[in-house]
Amino acid sequence: MIDVPQVLNLLEIAVSERGEDFHYEDYAQLGDLTAGLQIDPHDCQYANPLTGQPLCIAGVVLNEAGLLGYVREGDVTSNQSGLVGKISEAALDVLDAAQQAQDTGNSWGYALGLARLRADEWEADSA
């Protein structure tokens, strides 16, 4: 089962791949990753339905973890029944914090920072 430290590590990988200043709407300028898909910055997709290429920050993380195939488009990260038993509740909440930050127009670096704060909250609650 994927736990909080693993999710944070995968988020760090995602941010290092796209850059701290990357925003979801930047995909509109990256035709190689979107393969003709029109990106709507207000309608995040986990993956490109044409290529399967992960798009949003949660999609990139779940792809790295081998779990992208278990998510349903249109459902928020925290409401993915296909992830039950594969990722801990705390880890999913941390990932959801990053996803929500991205969905409100923030950079992936900022999203990672919010995920770290959420992870700290979980750690404090369990102490």
- Residue 54 falls in which region: left (phi positive, over 0), alpha (psi -120 to 50) or beta: beta
3-state secondary structure the chain: CECHHHHHHHHHHHHHHHCCCCCHHHHHHCHHHHCCCCCCCCCCCCECCCCCCECCHHHHHHHHCCCHHHCCCCCCHHHCHHHCCCECHHHHHHHHHHHHHHHCCCCHHHHHHHHHHHHHHHHHHHC
Band of pLDDT at residue 37, cut at 50, 70 and 90: low
Percent above pLDDT 90 for the chain: 61
Checking if the pLDDT of 6 tops 60, the result is: yes
* Structural domain spans, the chain: 4-126
Share of the chain above pLDDT 70, in %: 87
